[in-house]
Amino acid sequence: SPTAHPDIHQVDTEEVLSSEELRDLVDTLITYAREGKPEKIRELLSEIIPGASILQQETDLDMVE
């Protein structure tokens, strides 16, 4: 739910990831970063962060070689 700051939201659900689930997600993000797949990083973050609008914004997540 919204807070006084427009970019900060309070989580309304009690959904909690297990340590194993969190580890798997972080490993996947690391893999995407190493493979230079910023679009996959944005997709995954949009899926796992409640209310995220990462895909709707242009970002500077492009990987540098």
Strand partners, 2: 9
Question: What is the C-alpha to C-alpha distance for residues 17 and 53, in angstroms, rounded to an integer?
Answer: 20
Distance (Å, rounded) from C-alpha 25 to C-alpha 45?
9
- Which of the two residues, 46 and 34, has the higher pLDDT score? 34
pLDDT tier for residue 40 given thresholds of 50, 70 and 90? very high
Task: Note the pLDDT of residue 61.
Answer: 56
Mean confidence (pLDDT) of the chain: 81
Q: What is the pTM of this model?
A: 0.62
With a CB cutoff of 8 Å and minimum separation 6, the contacts of 7 are none
The residue ranking higher by pLDDT, 9 or 65, is 9
